[in-house]
Structure 1
Amino acid sequence: MDGRAPRIKNRAPAAIYITAEQLLREAQERQESAFRAPKQRVEDFEELHEYRGRKRKEFEERIRRTRGSIKEWLRYANWEASQNEFARSRSVYERALDVDPRSIQLWLSYTEMELKNRNVQHARNLFDRAVTLLPRVDQLWYKYVYLEELLQNVPGARQVFERWMKWEPDDKAWQAYIKMEERYGELDRASAIYERWIAVRPEPRVWVKWGKFEEERQRLDKAREVFQTALDFYGDDEEQVEKAQAVFSAFAKMETRLKEYERARVIYKFAFKQPNQNPR
């Protein structure tokens, strides 16, 4: 060796260019194909027992190393369920809940496992525990009431909604409760829910929804009472009247639809009156 750089015999451009991305992709494909585990066939109960024992040992080793990984717990629990070992699957889920009892993913996966295998009462008990521990997680309540209604247990769904409403959830939850009562023709119950909703959240949009609901069911006196109560609630303070324009507009439009033009005129006059002028 004389230390000189090797001579490049062919300086012509390559016929095919290979990018770094191609090289990485080919390497990954080769690696995936090289390390794909072969399918196992279990011939008898003894082999099945050995297979399950081996898998459990692997899962236990993984969760020992990564105890806080919910993904590993879920894999373990769902594998046990796939073996129809539901008691073992529940045991794994319960151990996982000891690690992270506030994991929504865990509760949902646990209840899904029970429902998939038609263990309805187990699922009910889980939802009850979940909403007791996490009452501000609307997703759990929605799943719970959906389950009860799916089972045609309307009184049970109503009880769940009643528990939920005590936490004064957002507007969508109140609307879901009202919609359920409407589906079963329980319009008086729906009206009572509107009254409770407005007590919790006296916003213009809620007054308007309630008034329209009563109008649609042809309870016009009740609709007028709702709008008049809203008018009294906001009073004659200029700032409050400005805030409630949507309510007054909806009230006047209802009277116009009913051809009560004089009533509509009075409402519009009150809505756009000058400050410090008392309504008649």
Structure 2
Amino acid sequence: MPELLWKSYIDFEVAECEFEKARVLYGRLLDRTKHLKVWMSYAEFEAAAIDKESFDLSEEQKKQCIQRVRRVFEEALNYFRSSASDLKEETAMLLEKWLSLEASFGELGDVSLVHSKLPMRLKKRRQVSTVDDSFGIEEYIDYLFPEETQTSNLKILEAAYRWKKQKLSSEF
């Protein structure tokens, strides 16, 4: 299992306080795979570096660590948006992780940076065929990202969604 070998190697470098070597290893691993867990692990490593690198970091050094975390998330977000556009759920999970890390940074964090990128969750239905050639309805969650709402067709759908929500709330 090569992923365990990579994880052990990175953990070893972190335990030896060789943070630059661990960053190089994460870079090499991301050259091989762009899996969501690798991106999240890399971001968590950078966030943990605030505590591990030195107990008495200056404010400026903490800001630099946070910038490295944001850079990792930005790179991951760019990858998922461009290369893997069908992985909307993974992109949403990445943004949720980013939001939680920004919140954990306290006053140095900027949750508004992530809030503007969060998708809207939509419950949709689709028709599926079963084994006996009958059809059924399956509900699933889809994500509508802010950059997708720029098209005029989606603005119409948004208006229809608001109208439906308004209609349902007036019935109760």
Same fold (TM over 0.5): yes
Which residue number in structure 2 is paired with residue 243 of structure 1? Answer: none
CA pair 202-151 structure 1, distance change in 2 beyond 3 A: farther
Relative contact order (alpha carbons < 8 A, sep ≥ 6): 1 or 2 greater? Answer: 2
Q: 2:170 aligns with which of 251, 270, 279?
A: 251
In 2: Cα distance, 1:123 partner to 1:144 partner: 9
| Residue identity matched to 2:158 | V
Structure number, greater radius of gyration: 1
Considering only aligned residues, what root-mean-square deviation do their CA atoms show, in Å? 3.5
Give the number of the structure whose residues are more often strand, by fraction. 2
1:170 aligns with 2:121: yes
Q: Secondary structure of the residue that 1:84 maps to in structure 2?
A: coil
Structure 1 residue 141 displacement after superposition: 0.6
Q: Partner residue of 1:200?
A: 158
Indicate the residue corresponding to 1:112 in structure 2: 44
The aligned residue for residue 149 of structure 1 is 103
- Whole-angstrom distance in 2 between the partners of 1:153 and 1:131: 24
Which of 64, 67, 83 is residue 121 of structure 1 equivalent to? 67
Percentage of identical aligned residues: 20
Spell out, residue by residue over 1:150-190, the C-alpha distance to the aligned partner (whole angstroms, 9 max, x if none): 3356994333232344xxx524898xxxxxxxxxxxxxxxx
Task: State whether residues 95 and 117 of structure 2, in contact with CA within 8 Å, keep that contact through their aligned partners in structure 1.
Answer: no
For the residue of structure 2 that corresponds to 1:163, the secondary structure is coil
Structure 1 length-normalised TM = 0.37
Give the number of aligned pairs.
123
1:122 Cα deviation from its structure 2 partner: 1.6
Where structure 2 has 5 or more consecutive residues not aligned to the other structure, the ranges are: 51-64, 82-87, 123-140, 144-153
Superposed CA deviations along residues 212-233 of structure 1, whole A, max 9, x for unmatched, are xxxxxxxxxxxxxxx4xxxxxx
Q: What does residue 32 of structure 1 align with?
A: none
Amino acid at match of 1:132: N
Say yes or no: does 1:96 pair with 2:29: yes
Question: What's 2:130 paired with?
Answer: none
TM-score (norm 2): 0.57
Separation (CA, whole Å) in 1 of partners of 2:9 and 2:75: 22
Partner of 2:57: none
